[in-house]
């Protein structure tokens, strides 16, 4: 993904698919994506228990994302892209 983002400065990169946890969102944002789509998780929640479970799914993803940010030493989403301590291969 770094190579794609590095070569294509003039377009926005979005991630769709494979996002199951807040850490997946953190990794995508750290690699420079503009947004991460989480449709499948939301649809599973909707199928299980309607809108209440959609809220639960979103709450879980948010908590996981915030915890992952704290563990990486990021105070806000702007700090995520500035961190250079992680390597994804």
Full-model pTM: 0.76
pLDDT at 75: 81
Tally of CB atoms within 10 A around 75: 9
Q: Count structural domains, the chain.
A: 1
For residue 87, being part of any structural domain is answered with no
What is the tens place of the pLDDT at every residue in 30-85?
Answer: 888 889 999 999 999 999 989 999 999 999 999 999 999 999 888 877 777 665 55
For residue 6, being part of any structural domain is answered with no
Give the chain as a 3 state SS string. Answer: CHHHHHHCCCCCCEEECCCCCHHHHHHHHHCCCCEEECHHHHHHHHHHHHHHHHHHHHHHHHHHHHHHHHHCCCCCHHHHCCCCCCCCC
For residue 25, being part of any structural domain is answered with yes
For residue 23, being part of any structural domain is answered with yes
pLDDT at 52: 94
Domain that holds residue 73: 12-80
Check: CB of residue 31 under 8 Å from CB of residue 4.
no
For residue 65, being part of any structural domain is answered with yes
For residue 7, being part of any structural domain is answered with no
Residues 10-30 have a mean pLDDT of 89
């Amino acid at each position: 993904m770094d190579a794609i983002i590095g070569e294509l400065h003039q377009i926005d990169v979005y991630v769709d698919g494979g996002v199951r946890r807040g850490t997946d969102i953190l990794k995508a944002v750290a690699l420079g994506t503009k947004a991460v789509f989480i449709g499948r998780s939301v649809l599973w929640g909707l199928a299980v228990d309607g809108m209440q479970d959609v809220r639960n799914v979103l709450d879980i993803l948010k908590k996981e994302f915030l915890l992952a940010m704290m563990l990486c030493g990021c105070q806000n989403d702007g700090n995520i892209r500035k961190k250079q301590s992680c390597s994804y291969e």
